[in-house]
Amino acid sequence: MEKQEYELLSTGFIRSTEGGGNTRRWTLLAFTFAALVVSAGAFAQEGPPGLTSPILLAPFDSNAPACTAPPGLNKVLGFAQDNQRQFMQGVASGLAAGARDRGLEYRVALADNNAARMIEQVQRFRDDKVGAVVAAPVDPPSLKQSLQQLIWSGSYVGTVVPPPAVSLLNAPQYLTGKVLGDAAAAYIRGPLKGKANVVLLTHDSLQDLAPRFVAIRDSLKDIPGAVIVADISPLMVNEDGGAAMMRTILLANPRIDVVLGADTVVLGALRALREAGKDRADQFLGGIDGEPRAVEEITRGGPYKTTVSLSSDVFGYAMAQHAADWLEGKSIPQAMDILPKLLTAASIPAYTADATDPAAVYRDPARRASYLKMYGNICYDSRDQYIAFPWSSEQR
């Protein structure tokens, strides 16, 4: 067999030379080969696995001693944003305001629901020695190692729900669903006189959010006339996904009285009801997230009656403050609850004022405590204690 030799060219291609003099060919491989080699070497690096088994965290101690400020990192806060739904735009707004108030440069890397793109963006943050990164992962398992590498390098890593993170944010998911479920149950027992065809637009495929819908079902189970005619997850978690699912549901069930789910999909369901001429003022549509479009619908009056607020502007601002504290060597919470608030036409003005000025909320301990509850302590020196399990304050 003739000898075959390979040479990695400076262009990133490989040249394959085969034979003695007159048998020569070029095998061109894409630049990604070189990138894969580099990437494989980077991922060979290992660090502490973090806290992999669920534990109960003590309340956050704001008087905990400071520790070392992470060395060699830039005073930059980066947001790895999954998509542009309104809830995430609120997170971005809060982060931007918090970064500005603490003198951090702020960068956004929008993945547009592309998991591979988000991995590249987070790796770029690491290569640029970005001191703090907040991530709303598109695909948590595939992003895990990139976030761990940031943590090992000393960066602040905050995440919206899934681990790993030095400071993880979640909502008490069962309580969040119960707030909405109880409001729907009260409406069914009252204005709907105990009878309702109910649609649940779920996210049960997302383990972290499934308790919301367990709670909603629990709230409705003791009402004999509340019939769940559809209990299903839309293919896309956005308005278009909610609209498409509702169009299908209406083919079998033309009369719908109650629709519950995340605001973005319930808003889509409302669109489909209107297109079909099936919307009514006495319907009860309720969502979770406190998205601006849901708030507009509630204020206007009509089918959309309530939303459970998880004020993304407020917690975004808080995460930016924790990022800045981390870079100064201060101790920050390991985890944080964003507490659910039921918004109605009467309570929306005060909520809107808070969302518009999250800095004022954060500076006022009583107002802040009505939105946020903080747990555990961590800083640069103890970063090996980062959370690497699906944390919830409702775990027992």
Residue 117, Cβ density class (10 Å: 0-12 exposed, 13-18 middle, ≥19 buried): middle
- The residues facing 228 across adjacent strands are 198
Determine which helix (DSSP H) or strand (DSSP E) holds 345, and give its type and residue range.
none
Does this chain's domain 74-170+313-333+373-385 share its CATH topology with 173-309?
A: yes
Question: What's this model's pTM, rounded to 2 decimal places?
Answer: 0.76
Best CATH choice for the domain 173-309 from the list 3.40.50.720, 3.40.50.150, 3.40.50.2300, 3.40.50.261: 3.40.50.2300
Determine which helix (DSSP H) or strand (DSSP E) holds 260, and give its type and residue range.
strand 258-262
Q: What CATH topology corresponds to 74-170+313-333+373-385?
A: Rossmann fold (3.40.50)
Amino acid type, 152 = W
End-to-end CA distance of the chain: 66
Alpha carbon separation from 66 to 63, 320, 331 (Å, rounded): 9, 18, 6
Backbone torsions φ then ψ of 298, nearest 5 degrees: -65, -45
User: Which pLDDT value is given to residue 368?
Assistant: 96
C-alpha 3/C-alpha 21 separation (Å) is 12
User: Which pLDDT value is given to residue 323?
Assistant: 98
C-alpha 310/C-alpha 234 separation (Å) is 21
Domain ranges of the chain: 4-43, 74-170+313-333+373-385, 173-309
Q: What is the pLDDT along the chain (396 residues), one digit of tens a residue?
A: 333 332 332 222 223 333 443 333 333 333 333 333 334 334 444 899 999 999 999 999 999 999 999 999 999 999 999 999 888 999 999 999 999 999 999 999 999 999 999 999 999 999 999 999 999 999 999 999 999 999 999 999 999 999 999 999 998 989 999 999 999 999 999 999 999 999 999 986 667 688 999 999 999 999 999 999 999 999 888 899 999 999 999 999 999 999 999 999 999 999 999 999 999 999 999 999 888 899 999 999 999 999 999 889 999 999 999 999 999 999 999 999 999 999 999 999 998 899 999 999 999 999 999 999 999 999 999 999 999 999 999 986
Contact 80, 136 (CB under 8 A): yes
User: Which pLDDT value is given to residue 209?
Assistant: 80
Pair of tokens at residue 102: 């603490």
